[in-house]
Amino acid sequence: MAKKPKQIIVDPKLCKGCLICISVCPHGVLKKADEVDNRGFFLPVVVDLEACKVCRLCEMECPDFAICVVE
């Protein structure tokens, strides 16, 4: 059976807003936030959780271990 994500968590303390996770996601699950956070970073936000195939590329490519896909 295909894997399904329950939740995608971005740790706002670890994420530096590099947006690598958005560029590596093959399914358009993430997008850049419309506004900066309190440190001035645009964090990734989940726009299409249903499209996520739990490939974990975002987790693997994140340099700060800031994103976590919960199955």
- Contacts with ligand SF4 by CB under 6 A lie at 8, 10, 15-21, 24-25, 27, 29-30, 44, 52-58, 62, 64, 66-67, 69
Q: Closest distance between ligand SF4 and the C-beta of residue 37, in Å?
A: 11
Cα–Cα distances (Å) from 39 to 14, 22, 27, in that order, read 11, 20, 28
Q: Closest distance between ligand SF4 and the C-beta of residue 2, in Å?
A: 11
Pick the closer one to ligand SF4 by CB: 39 or 67. Answer: 67
CA-based angle 47:49:50, to the nearest 5?
A: 125
> Tokens 């303390």 correspond to what residue?
13
